[in-house]
Structure formats: structure tokens, C-alpha cells
Amino acid sequence: MSNKKYDVCIIGGGITGTALGYFLCKLGKTSVAIFEKSYLSSGSTGRCAGGIRQQWSTRPNVRLAMRSVKLFERFKEDVGMDIEYTQGGYLVLSYTENEAAQFERNVLMQREEGLNVEILSPSEVSKRYPYINIEGLKLATFCQTDGHANPHKAVIGYAQAIRKMGGAIFTHTEVTDIDVINDRVVGINTSRGYFSCDVVVNASGPWSREISELVGVELPTESYRHQIMVTEPLENFFPMMAISFSGNFYMRQTQHGQFILGQGDKDEKPGINYNVTFKFEKELTSKMIRIFPFLKNVRLIRHWSGMYNMSPDAQPIIGESEKVKGYYYAVGYSGHGFMVAPAVGEALAELLVFGKTLHTDISYLGLKRFENMVVEKEKNVV
Ligand SMILES: Cc1cc2nc3c(=O)[nH]c(=O)nc-3n(C[C@H](O)[C@H](O)[C@H](O)COP(=O)(O)OP(=O)(O)OC[C@H]3O[C@@H](n4cnc5c(N)ncnc54)[C@H](O)[C@@H]3O)c2cc1C
């Protein structure tokens, strides 16, 4: 035992851990410590595309994302960091009749939620974006208030604010065990020694299941590699994120002019794997040159990989364990954790401080939903 004590210990220095730490400190709970085994944003957050989208197929996800956008809009003012946040919109492209019909239903629901989403025919897409090849396109949707930001800067912004408000961040500090007495969390063991606490939050991204095993709570999450690459810079002309679920790709231009491109691979096996493959480069570049002909002869600069921490319904798993008091989790984001993290961090902080959420309902995201198996799978995922 030691005299190192924090009310809340957070495992993971990605966007989830730092957003939560920030909102806890903001609500006056500054007895908070984040433990990160490597450097801040070294996990999925620092490897992601930074897309921020509200066009989801399930109503709760739309609400969560809309709340996050409100918080991203105020990020610079509230948190004190310019995170290259741009509301250049998201153009969602559909290449199948079924999906196009689903998009039309999604848009009705999204508009009911107050989201301004346009439906564009292929010729409207061509007129508006003459540099996109519309071959095979059935329909597109566009939401101007969607956008993107620099994920590293978001984490660093939150981290600096946490330290300023009195919270602690231990980088290069691995959590090796969670101490539970009488079904209640009482502390954690780390590579820097023992810390007592009342609450532990599992915000460990790709390692969510392994961390949960430390307290004997089974999380239905699996991590899958996702590769991503970046080109040399071009003059800035492409303000939106373009994405397609049926076409399996996403791409956007950064503030510095580079294009970030990615796609999923349904043949990936679960497990942590940071290798990259030539197959990915070949497949994605030929597809992207066909749809975005201006990318022809543009050089690739870098190619890396990160993990999607997947849940069975492709929606995050957030809440407190019923089995172990004081053990919380915010994991399983299934490839869209960056964009919802501010709303999740705010909601979880409110839950910890007030015992209830004030801005966004996250009760539907608990582990319990998997018990009765009536889960609605989020469809809008690459
Ligand atoms: C290629 C790619 C593209 C993506 N694009 C988007 C996008 O456009 N928009 C979007 O919203 N999302 C996107 N995502 C998903 C997004 O990156 C994640 O959902 C999000 O970053 C999860 O954040 P996190 O903080 O929960 O996890 P992470 O960022 O992975 O952070 C978890 C941290 O926990 C630490 N950790 C683990 N175990 C321990 C331990 N025992 N002790 C201490 N620390 C530990 C890890 O080192 C890690 O830094 C993408 C992901 C990938 C891989």
C-alpha cells in the first residue's frame, strides 16, 4: 500500500481517457489520474482519420454525435487548443440500391433529430464536385456541420487543460492489476507502484477486454487492424470527408494539404497487429484513383495501422459494471470513438459526479443490452 490516492483512476491516455479527465476536472473533481502505458494518443486515437460525423443509422448515435459536435465547436474556446477543427461536411456515397434506400430512411430520422442533411442525386454530386467520378453512384447524402480535426491536438489539448486544473497524468506507466475487495474497486497496481482509488475507468481502447479481465468482467470486444495512409500535400480544395460504406473507403484533406485515405478489410483476424501490407496500398490506391482521378500520380508518404475495438453491434460499450462497484468502461467504439468521445467524456463525468447524465443519455450503451440480444446494429461503419 502507498499514500498515492486519487478518487478516479483512468486507464488509457487516448481521446476517451483525456476527454473524461477534462470533464471531471471541469466539474470540480480534480482528484483524477490518467495512466498511459506509452505516450498520449499512442493508441487508436493518434492513428485515426479524425473524422467527425453525425450521419448515423441509429437515433442514439445521431444524438451522441450531435452533442459531440457542439463540444467540438467550442473546443478552442473551452479547452484552449486549436485542433484544426473544420466543419467542411461529410459526403456519404452509396453504390447499392439497398443502401441508398436505407440512406433515405436514415435522413428522415436524422432530420427529425434536427440535423440538416441533404440528399444528392449522382448528377447533383457531379455538378457540385466535378472532380469526383460518379460512375456506379446511386445516391449521396451531405451534412455541412460534419467535419474533421487533428486527433493528436485534441488529446494534447485535453491533457494540458487537465494538468492546469489539477488532474494528474502518468505517461509510460502501465496498469498491471486492478485491486478489488468485496466486489468493490479499491486501487490499481502500476509500473509506478500502487494507487488507491474509488473508481477505475477502463478507457484502454484496443486492450479493453484484457483490462476488464483484471476484474473478472467479460467485455464482448475484439480488436481488428485498420490500415490508413497519407499522400504528399496538394493545394487545399477538398473541405469535406468523403466516405462510403458500400464502396468501403474514406478520405479527407488535412489543413496541410495531404489526403488521408483508408478502407476496412473483412478478412482481418482479431488481435493487435500493427503491420502494414502492400495488398492494402494496391487495392485502395486503384479504387481511389478511379473515384477521385485527381489523386493519380500523387505520391504516398506514409502508411500505418491502428485498431478498431469492435463491439457486437458496432456501438460503444459504456457504463458501470453491475458486478464490480466502481469499475466503469468506455470501450468498443468500433471505429468511431474520436468523434463521440467529447460527448461520452462529458456524460460519464456527469454520471460519476452527479449520479446521472445531464446532456446525453448513454444508458442504452451499457453491457446489459447484450444479455437479451435485441441489439440494433449500427450500419454506417467502414
Ligand atoms: C485507421 C483508423 C481510422 C479511424 N478513423 C476514425 C475517424 O475518422 N473518426 C473517429 O471518430 N474514429 C476513428 N477511428 C477510431 C478511433 O481511433 C477510436 O475509436 C478512438 O481513438 C478510441 O479512443 P480511446 O481513447 O478509447 O482508445 P485509444 O486511443 O486506443 O487509447 C487507449 C490507450 O490506453 C492505453 N493502454 C492500454 N492498456 C493500458 C494499460 N494496461 N496501462 C496503461 N495504459 C494502457 C493505450 O496505450 C492507449 O494509448 C479510427 C481508427 C483507426 C484505427
Separation of first and last alpha carbons in the chain: 46
Please report the pLDDT score of residue 299 as a whole number: 97
3 state SS of 180: strand
Check if 329 has its Cβ closer than 6 Å to any atom of ligand 1: no
Helix (H), strand (E), coil (C) string for 347-362? HHHHHHHHCCCCCCCC
Structure letter (DSSP) for residue 57: S
Check if 16 has its Cβ closer than 6 Å to any atom of ligand 1: yes
Check if 337 has its Cβ closer than 6 Å to any atom of ligand 1: yes
Helices (H), 192-266: 208-213
Q: Is the pLDDT of residue 373 over 70?
A: no
CATH fourth-level superfamily of 8-47+152-221+313-370? FAD/NAD(P)-binding domain (3.50.50.60)
Cβ pair 32, 7 in contact under 8 A: yes
Q: Is the pLDDT of residue 276 over 60?
A: yes
Pairing of strands 90-94, 241-244: parallel
Round to whole Å and give the CA distance between 362 and 364: 5
Ligand 1 atom showing the smallest separation from residue 250 Cα: 8
Kindly report the number of other CB atoms within 10 A of residue 112's CB atom. 10
**Residue 278: CB partners within 8 Å, gap ≥ 6?**
none
The C-alpha cell at 175 is 496498469
pLDDT tens by residue, 34-51 = 999 999 999 999 999 999
How far is CA 50 from each of CA 53, 151, 250, 303, 338, rounded to the nearest angstrom?
10, 6, 11, 16, 7
Round to whole Å and give the CA distance between 296 and 289: 6
**For ligand 1, atom 8, which residue shows the shortest CA distance?**
51
pLDDT tens by residue, 72-101 = 999 999 999 999 999 999 999 999 999 999
DSSP per-residue string spanning 33-51: EEE-SSSTTTTTGGGS--E
pLDDT tens by residue, 328-344 = 999 999 999 999 999 99
Distance 233 CA to ligand 1 centre (A): 26
CATH fourth-level superfamily of 87-145+222-309? D-Amino Acid Oxidase, subunit A, domain 2 (3.30.9.10)
3 state SS of 151: helix
Please report how many Cα atoms fall inside a 13 Å half-sphere around the Cα of residue 29, on the Cβ side: 22
Check if 147 has its Cβ closer than 6 Å to any atom of ligand 1: no
In the chain, where are the structural domains located? Answer: 8-47+152-221+313-370, 87-145+222-309
Q: What average pLDDT does this structure show over 58-76? A: 96
pLDDT tens by residue, 223-270 = 999 999 999 999 999 999 999 999 999 999 999 999 999 999 999 999
Round to whole Å and give the CA distance between 284 and 228: 9
Distance 128 CA to ligand 1 centre (A): 34
Beta bridge partners of 307: 225
Please report the pLDDT score of residue 3 as a whole number: 56
In terms of phi and psi (left: phi > 0; alpha: psi -120 to 50; beta: otherwise), the region of 332 is left
